[in-house]
């Protein structure tokens, strides 16, 4: 019987965490024990859900697939029932990136799993895949090409050590390519050629970049590539991975069989058959386009990357912090002023975190990052720079951030000045909507109090809240001695009043 999470063994501190990967073909979960900086996987669960085949033209999920997915998540949730908040990280990839938010699927999925679900962008998925693969390989300084074929997308990465230097996510995977080119289970030479050409077209915009990246070894990860490797090794066509010659033999075997029902290959699970032709077509296109002769296979992928990412965040090596610092430098922000706004905002936050129910440890981090990036739009134009900043943060490739975190960060920056953007917060998921709105009020006050930009003048008023009624209490005579601040507070009170928020000050 597995040990309960977060219990010490023989007096040595350790923590048990879980990572859940909601892919377009399969749902995976791993449970790992972290002990003195090392990861030991103690449980794995996997179910073939085929989420991608249930995605309709209007970006909803078919009812049968929805129920299949929720049933799987309920089973995962039983295993995770005793895990505390923050010890489980669940992410959705290609199909869930496309599902319309108003479908309500994510909310139902979170209820079934019992933990929050994050939707990550394609390049962020690629970064996490590389992180997992790199930790699963023998130590070496060579540059690696990593390829991961999922159900709805293929991630291609070049990196060195534990750092991904090139990351791309391409809209082709074993599920969507199989549905498009082999929908009835027939595998003809012509359909296989069309599937490979379509995959090559997807690769074409990044072909030269990856060819010239000077990578030395090619590594594949996840279900499709692991299944192909299992077949070619079991059939005796290749050793220690996948060779280009063996991959062609597998392609020829599929075409010779004609139909998936008549396919008889050693090492091929029955559940993998329906999506094998699409996966083979994608991988052959990758081999040919990038001139791969042989590919070794990693047992680690996205879910292991999630665990190592959690370990990094706990060890104060949060990649999001590096991303914010890089943005600050690239957009030539006044970093000293940003740090002052951050300190003031966090001082206000600590006063109201309890009555405003802002206990989630992510909230002060997002508030701090928004404070440091609130002027990022100035690089575009001073006029309405809060809108330019929000656009950049919403749409940029921000390593380490989920789509929900980027949306929240963009909303905070958009709302830090001028008219309060209530519709922006109403569009956020229900679970974070009110908290994000309150964080924005804190950021607005911090920016306003430091509008003079003086390093020496840092007013530290007491902030009291009762629901949406706020009161700022300054030292005696401070407001009388700072008439500009008084006028700005009066203007801010009018702006917040229009959003249903009351601001008083004395």
Task: For residues 50 and 68, give the distance between their C-alpha atoms in angstroms, rounded to a whole number.
Answer: 9
pLDDT at 9: 39
For 26, the enclosing helix (H) or strand (E) is strand 26-35
Which tokens hold the place of 262?
Answer: 């008549």
pLDDT at 407: 93
Of the candidate ranges 149-153, 261-265, 370-374, the one whose mean pLDDT is the lowest? 261-265
pLDDT tens track for 281-307 = 999 999 999 999 999 999 999 999 999
pLDDT tens track for 334-355 = 999 999 999 999 999 999 999 9
Cβ atoms of 116 and 110 within 8 Å: the answer is yes
In order of 19, 227, 241, 359, 405, the CA distances from 245 in angstroms are 36, 17, 12, 56, 44
For 108, the enclosing helix (H) or strand (E) is helix 105-113
500: left (phi over 0), alpha (psi -120 to 50) or beta: left
Residue ranges and CATH numbers for the domains of the chain are 15-119 (3.30.420.40), 123-303 (3.30.420.150), 318-458 (1.10.3210.10)
Task: For residues 161 and 127, give the distance between their C-alpha atoms in angstroms, rounded to a whole number.
Answer: 13
Which residue has tokens 């002990």? 35
pLDDT at residue 2 tops 90: no
pLDDT at 12: 31
Question: How confident is residue 316, by pLDDT bands cut at 50, 70 and 90?
Answer: low
pLDDT tens track for 23-81 = 999 999 999 998 877 889 999 999 999 999 999 999 999 999 999 999 999 999 999 99
145: left (phi over 0), alpha (psi -120 to 50) or beta: beta
Classify each residue of 4-28 as buried b or exposed e, where b means 16 or more C-beta atoms within 10 Å of its C-beta. Answer: ebeeeeeeeebbbbbbbbbbbbbbb
Question: How confident is residue 390, by pLDDT bands cut at 50, 70 and 90?
Answer: very high
Residues 6+ apart with CB under 8 A from 232: 238, 242, 243, 246, 247, 249, 250
Which residue has tokens 């990094």? 312
Helix/strand number for the chain, H first, E second? 20, 14
Three-state DSSP class for 454?
coil
pLDDT at 431: 82
Alpha helix ranges (H) inside 137-214: 174-181, 189-203, 207-211
Task: For residues 501 and 506, give the distance between their C-alpha atoms in angstroms, rounded to a whole number.
Answer: 17
Residues 6+ apart with CB under 8 A from 499: 420, 422
pLDDT tens track for 160-200 = 988 999 999 999 999 999 999 999 999 999 999 999 999 99
How many CB atoms are closer than 10 A to CB 466? Answer: 9
Of the candidate ranges 3-7, 314-318, 347-351, 470-474, the one whose mean pLDDT is the lowest? 3-7
Q: Cα-flanking dihedrals φ and ψ of residue 226, to 5°? A: -65, -35
pLDDT at 371: 97
Mapping DSSP onto H, E and C, the string for 250-318 reads HHHHHHHHCEHHHCCCCCCCHHHHHHHHHHHHHHHHHHHHHCCCEEEECCCCHHHHHHHHHHHHHCCCC
Complete edge-to-edge strand list for the sheet that includes strand 88-92: 38-48, 26-35, 15-22, 88-92, 117-119
Average pLDDT over residues 431-452: 94
Say which DSSP state 3 is in: P
Per the prediction, the chain carries an average pLDDT of 92
Cβ atoms of 205 and 246 within 8 Å: the answer is no
Please tell me the pTM assigned to this model: 0.83
Average pLDDT over residues 346-372: 95
Taking alpha carbons only, the member of 466, 409, 416 closest to residue 444 is 416
If you count them, how many residues does the chain have? 506
């Amino acid at each position: 019987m597995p040990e309960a999470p977060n219990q010490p063994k023989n007096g040595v501190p350790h923590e048990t965490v879980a990572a859940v990967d909601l892919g377009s073909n399969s749902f995976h979960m791993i449970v790992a024990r972290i002990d003195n900086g090392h990861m030991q996987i103690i449980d794995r669960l996997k179910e073939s859900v085929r989420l991608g085949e249930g995605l309709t033209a209007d970006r909803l999920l078919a009812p049968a697939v929805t129920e299949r997915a929720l049933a799987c998540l309920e089973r995962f949730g039983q295993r995770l029932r005793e895990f505390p908040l923050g010890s489980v990280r669940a992410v959705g990839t290609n199909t869930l990136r496309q599902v319309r938010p108003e479908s309500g699927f994510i909310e139902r999925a979170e209820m079934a799993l019992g933990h929050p679900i994050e939707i990550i962008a394609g390049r962020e998925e690629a970064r996490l895949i590389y992180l997992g693969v790199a930790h699963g390989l023998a130590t070496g300084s060579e540059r690696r090409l990593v390829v991961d074929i999922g159900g709805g997308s293929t991630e291609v990465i070049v990196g060195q050590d534990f750092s991904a230097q090139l990351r791309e996510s391409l809209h082709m995977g074993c599920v969507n390519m199989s549905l498009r080119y082999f929908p009835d289970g027939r595998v003809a030479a012509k359909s296989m050629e069309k599937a490979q050409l379509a995959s090559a077209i997807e690769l074409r915009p990044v072909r030269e970049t990856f060819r010239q990246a000077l990578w030395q070894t090619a590594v594949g990860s996840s279900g499709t590539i692991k299944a192909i490797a299992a077949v070619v090794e079991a059939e005796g066509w290749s050793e220690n991975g996948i060779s280009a010659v063996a991959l062609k033999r597998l392609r020829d075997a599929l075409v010779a069989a004609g139909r998936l029902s008549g396919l008889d290959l050693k090492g091929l699970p029955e559940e993998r058959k329906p999506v094998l032709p699409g996966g083979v077509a994608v991988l052959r296109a990758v081999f040919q386009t990038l001139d791969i002769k042989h590919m070794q296979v990693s047992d680690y992928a996205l879910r292991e990357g999630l665990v190592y990412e959690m370990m990094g965040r706990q060890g104060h090596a949060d990649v999001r912090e590096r991303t914010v610092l890089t943005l600050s430098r690239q957009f030539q922000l006044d970093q000293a002023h940003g740090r002052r706004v951050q300190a003031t905002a966090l001082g206000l936050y600590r006063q109201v975190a309890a009555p405003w129910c802002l206990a989630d440890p992510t909230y002060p981090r997002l508030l701090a990052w928004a404070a440091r990036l609130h002027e990022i739009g100035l690089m575009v134009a001073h006029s309405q720079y809060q809108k330019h900043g929000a656009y950049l943060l919403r749409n940029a490739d921000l390593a380490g951030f989920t789509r929900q975190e980027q949306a929240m960060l963009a909303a905070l920056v958009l709302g830090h000045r001028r008219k309060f953007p209530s519709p922006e917060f109403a569009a956020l998921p229900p679970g974070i909507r009110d908290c994000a709105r309150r964080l924005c009020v804190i950021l607005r006050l911090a920016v306003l109090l430091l509008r003079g930009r003086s390093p020496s003048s840092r007013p530290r008023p007491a902030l009291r809240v009762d629901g949406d009624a706020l009161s700022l209490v300054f030292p005696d005579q401070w407001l009388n001695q700072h008439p500009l601040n008084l006028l700005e507070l009066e203007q801010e009170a009018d702006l917040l009043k229009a959003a249903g928020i009351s601001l008083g000050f004395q």
